């Protein structure tokens, strides 16, 4: 059953099962040599950080693909038409606010948003949900409250700035977005012989996809964690605008799960509250792992437009809300 047919020759790696098997055998035989490569403490630290990001994200990712599979298989398309206002301009804030109810981190939100779109939800509304769900869900707000004792306004500021960014991005998409940038497709090949089969096919496909890109994000974050000296970061903390931009940029690079980022932000003690707010608003919406997931799920045309626009709006709202509530 391993012989590839002629029809499969294009875009097909012949004998992927054999490549996998041979590769694994080589690695197992060469384990001692392979492990020797990782004796360097910097490499080991990087490997530990890489594994911890992947392992920490895994349950949320699985939850996300199970949810997106369930949406695809068990929730009839008509449900979304009833649940969301018909007018997309109204559906955007409703979907954005709905993000406050569903716990889940950003790794889960991309496949879920993709599932929503393929079920006929207006892309603008699904995108507002994609941005708001990881940023303002109860678990994230609770962790922010715990991370900033004595600064309860941080929670309020995070909620307002994140929801505002999500809703405005949804409306911007409605006005300027082009359907051809999104690659949702009917996903016919993921329709199985029964609801249960469809669920399995969708969950499996989404997991393999998002998981691959999570690995890229984890590698990038681990490399940065080990390569960028902390002294560089501390040097810019005194500059008000620059420090906001630097923490926003750091949020993009570090790609920490939104459940965890409040504790990291709290540990950046040299920085102003507004700069930390930018870290918390940007992180769940734009980071290396998310951009990579968006490229994989939607398309690079989408991600190169959507991610920078979200970044700019998130920074602007952080500065505004920070100036209003945190000074």
Partner 1 sequence: MRRDVQAIILILVGGAVLRITIGDTFLNYVQEAMRPWLLLSGGILVVLGVLALIDSIRQGRAADDEQTPHDEPHEHDDGHGHGHGGPRAAWLLLLPVLAIFLIAPPALGAYAAARDVNNSAPTGEAKAPPLPPGDPAPVTVAEYVGRAVWDDGLTLVDRTVEMTGFVTPDPAGGWWISRMAVACCAADAIASKVKVLEVPDLPADTWVTITGRWVPGGGTKTDTAIPLIEVLTLEEVPQPKNPYE
d(CA 249, CA 308): 11
CA distances from 15 to 8, 11, 22, 124, 322 (A): 11, 12, 11, 41, 56
Among 5, 87, 194, 327, binds partner 1 (CB under 8 A): 5
Q: Which 168-207 positions form the footprint of partner 1 (CB under 8 A)?
A: 183, 185, 187, 189-190, 200-201, 203-205, 207
- Do 222 and 46 contact (CB within 8 A), yes or no? yes
Q: What is the dihedral of CA 131, 250, 306, 49, to 10 degrees?
A: -70
Applying CB under 8 A, among 80, 173, 213, 311 the residue interacting with partner 1 is 213
Interface of this chain with partner 1, residues 32 to 71, rule: CB under 8 A: 34-35, 38, 41-42, 44-45, 47-56, 58-59, 61-63, 66
- 290-316 exposure pattern, b = at least 16 Cβ within 10 A, e = fewer: bbbbbbbbbeeebbebbbebbbebbbb
- Supply the DSSP string of 75-143, one letter for each residue: S-HHHHHHHS-SSHHHHHHHHHHHTTTS---HHHHHHHHHHHHHTT--HHHHHHHHHHHHHHSHHHHHH
Q: Which is nearer to partner 1, 295 or 312 (CB)?
A: 295
| Residue 208 is a binding residue for partner 1 (CB under 8 A) | yes
Q: Which is nearer to partner 1, 169 or 219 (CB)?
A: 219
d(CA 81, CA 115): 14
- Site residues for partner 1, window 308-327 (CB under 8 A)? none
How far is it, in rounded angstroms, from Cα 61 to Cα 65?
6
As measured in angstroms, the least distance from the Cβ of 56 to partner 1 is: 4
Q: Which of 94, 236, 264, 312 binds partner 1 (CB under 8 A)?
A: 264
Shortest Cβ distance from residue 25 to partner 1 (Å)?
Answer: 13
We find the least distance from the C-beta atom of residue 218 to partner 1, in angstroms, to be 8
Whichever of 49 and 125 has its CB closer to partner 1, that residue is 49
Map the footprint of partner 1 across residues 224-263, applying CB under 8 A. 225-226, 229-231, 234, 254, 256-257, 259-260, 263
What size, in residues, is the chain? 327
Residue number with CB closer to partner 1 (87 or 194): 194
Please, what is the minimum distance in Å from the beta carbon of residue 87 to partner 1? 29
Q: Which of 22, 31, 139, 238 binds partner 1 (CB under 8 A)?
A: 31
Figure out which of the listed residues 147, 154, 168, 291 binds partner 1, where binding follows CB under 8 A: 147
Which of 237/320 has CB closer to partner 1?
237
Burial 88-127, CB ≥16 within 10 A → b, else e: beebbbbbbbbbbebbbbbbbbbbbbbbbbbbebbbbbbb
């Amino acid at each position: 059953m391993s012989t590839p047919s002629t029809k499969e020759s294009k875009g097909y790696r012949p004998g992927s099962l054999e490549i996998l098997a041979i590769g694994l055998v080589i690695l197992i035989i060469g384990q001692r040599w392979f492990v020797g490569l990782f004796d360097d403490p910097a490499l080991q630290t990087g490997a530990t950080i890489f594994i911890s990001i992947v392992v920490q994200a895994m349950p949320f990712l699985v939850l996300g693909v199970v949810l997106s599979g369930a949406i695809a298989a068990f929730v009839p398309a008509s449900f979304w038409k009833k649940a969301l206002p018909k007018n997309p301009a109204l559906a955007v804030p409703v979907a954005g606010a709905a993000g406050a109810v569903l716990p889940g981190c950003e790794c889960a939100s991309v496949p879920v948003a993709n599932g929503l779109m393929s079920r006929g939800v207006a892309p603008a509304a699904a995108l507002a949900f994609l941005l708001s769900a990881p940023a303002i869900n109860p678990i994230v707000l609770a962790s922010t409250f715990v991370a900033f004792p004595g600064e309860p306004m941080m929670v309020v500021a995070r909620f307002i700035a994140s929801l505002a960014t999500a809703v405005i991005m949804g409306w911007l998409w409605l006005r300027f977005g082009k359907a051809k940038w999104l690659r949702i497709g009917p996903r016919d090949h993921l329709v199985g012989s029964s609801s249960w089969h469809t669920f399995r096919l969708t969950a499996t496909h989404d997991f393999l996809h998002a998981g691959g890109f999570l690995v890229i994000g984890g590698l990038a974050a681990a490399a940065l964690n080990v390569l960028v000296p902390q002294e560089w970061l501390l040097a810019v903390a005194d500059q008000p605008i620059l420090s906001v931009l630097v923490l926003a940029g750091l949020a993009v690079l570090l790609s920490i799960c939104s459940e965890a980022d409040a504790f990291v932000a709290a540990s950046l003690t040299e920085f102003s509250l507004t700069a930390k707010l930018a870290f918390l608003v940007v992180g769940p919406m734009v980071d290396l792992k998310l951009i990579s997931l968006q490229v994989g799920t939607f398309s690079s045309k989408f991600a190169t437009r959507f991610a920078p626009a979200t970044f700019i709006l998130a920074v602007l709202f952080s500065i505004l809300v920070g100036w209003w509530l945190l000074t």
